[in-house]
Amino acid sequence: MEVKLNADVLTDNNAAAAHNRGEFSKNNILVVNLMSSPGAGKTTILEETVRKLSIKYRIGVIEGDLATERDADRIRALGAKAIQINTHGGCHLDARMVAKILPEFDLNEIDIMFIENVGNLVCPSGYDLGQHHKVAVLSVPEGNDKIPKYPTMFRRTELVLLNKVDLLPYLDFNVEEAISDLNGLNPESKLLTISARTGEGFNSWIQWIEGAFEQCKQPNQ
């Protein structure tokens, strides 16, 4: 017997994403979905980002990991509201997971929400969480092969943060090659070089976020 499956397997996820997006828009919250492989430095980037932005903005963070609350604890130590989602083996967050924990936030008290996805360069990019922007983090120690080897991630992200550039003098990484690979896959994307450890390049990242925040407050955005 042949069974035809006509329903989009992401139908439930997309419905939850639409709900999340409505909640975020209603409260004028900018939402950024941050994705990378494990160890690229997402949490360290978030720590420095929270330090810089919390002077002016109210920050919320959703942390995605297979287990533990270690990353959420790091963000809470900075005074920001952080909720941990443990996927217990799942390789990505989905919109239903996000929808389930949104009531734990007072959305009226948040200007910018960061979602730190599970460390994975494959699955997270395929799931709409209701965010405004998808940002990928790549780190110098990972080497130059990640963009061409994981094209789906980089086709679906509009900004790439190249982290740990303080290690460029010690490792074989070519920034121009990374920019060329990214442009070949996604000409509309942009690459910013940063170091979460030294703060290099962080002003450009903060300016990007502030520009996105102003844009999301505009009608019909």
Residue-range domain boundaries for the chain: 12-212
Is the whole model's pTM more than 0.75, yes or no?
A: yes
Per-residue pLDDT of the chain (221 residues; tens, 9 = 90+): 555 544 576 899 999 999 999 999 999 999 999 999 999 999 999 999 999 999 999 999 999 999 999 999 999 999 999 999 999 999 999 999 999 999 999 999 999 999 999 999 999 999 999 999 999 999 999 999 999 999 999 999 999 999 999 999 999 999 999 999 999 999 999 999 999 999 999 999 999 999 999 998 776 54
H or E element in which residue 179 lies = helix 175-185
Q: What element of type H or E holds 43?
A: helix 42-53
Q: How far apart are CA 5 and CA 31, in angstroms?
A: 33
In angstroms, the CA 131 to CA 14 distance is 12
Tell me what pLDDT residue 217 has: 78
List the structure tokens of 123: 């699955």
Buried b (16+ CB within 10 A) or exposed e, 7-46: eeeeeebeebbebbbebbeeeebbbbbbbbbeebbbbbbb
Cβ contact 153:125 at 8 Å = yes
- Looking at domain 12-212, its CATH architecture is 3-Layer(aba) Sandwich (3.40)
CA 178 to chain centre: 19
Distance (Å, whole) CA 48 – CA 30:
18
In 3D, which of 120, 169, 137 has the Cα closest to residue 44? 137
* pLDDT of res. 9: 66
C-alpha neighbours within 13 Å on the C-beta side of residue 58? 11
